[in-house]
Amino acid sequence: MKDIARTFLPSVALASRHSLDLVSLFLRRPHDQIVYYNLLFSIAIATEPKVILELGTGPGTSSRAFIRALQYWSAFRNTGDTVLHTCDINPNLGQRLRKFGGLVRIHTMTTDELALQWKERPTAVDLLYIDAGHSHEQSLRDFTNFSPFVIPRGLILMHDTHPLTERHEAPSFSGGVWKTAQVIKREYGKDFEISTIPALCGVSVIRKAGGKYF
């Protein structure tokens, strides 16, 4: 009974929050944002993360998906050591996340600036999300700067790796991030495995080696 009680309340709370998020997204953007939220939410739940690092807060869809996963696992484990670090140069984007208190740490700076701070005070990352700059150069730099901090068997999610059309290769859309996915596959294959979901402008799931089965 204790085990049932320990899992029941976090599960009910998660279901309620998830449902409210879906309603909110439906009222604003009824299709793609719901699909994207559910994809990130499902991956985050499955990784059982304590620390998520989000590069590119954006409109907050990804942030909300990650927060729900952290809320669930924090309640399930009954610990307060879960946190979402989110980084964006726009100071307004993180304001809506302040209501989540210590669960979210907002970094208003470039990802390059955050990388310098992260190296000075290293923190292990369970799940890294890369969706800040859309150039090949910036996305590759974000990968090389932060992937060393991802734990063995940890995950990296990279958005915009499969543009819908050649027109979407423009910087205002997906840019050149698809080139970064190819570089990771070609040059980092011994340490990372990568698979790209060819929807929502492309979401690549990158797993770091470190276990018996890779």
Q: Is residue 26 very low, low, confident or very high in pLDDT (cuts 50, 70, 90)?
A: confident
Looking at the predicted structure, is the pLDDT value of residue 6 above 70?
no
Read off the pLDDT of residues 51-63 as tens digits, 9 standing for 90 and up. Answer: 999 999 999 999 9
**Whole-number pLDDT of residue 30:** 58
Nearest Cα residue to 69 out of 95, 44, 98: 44
> Which pLDDT score is estimated for 12?
84
For residue 211, the model assigns a pLDDT of 80
pLDDT at 7 over 70: no
CATH 3.40.50.1240 at 2-208, yes or no: no
pLDDT in tens, 71-105: 999 888 777 789 999 999 999 988 889 999 999 99
Q: Is 1's pLDDT higher than 80?
A: no
Model confidence over 108-125: pLDDT tens digits? 999 999 999 999 999 999
* Sheet strands (E) in the chain: 51-55, 83-88, 104-108, 125-130, 150-159, 192-197, 203-208
Q: Is the pTM of this model over 0.85?
A: yes
pLDDT of residue 17: 84
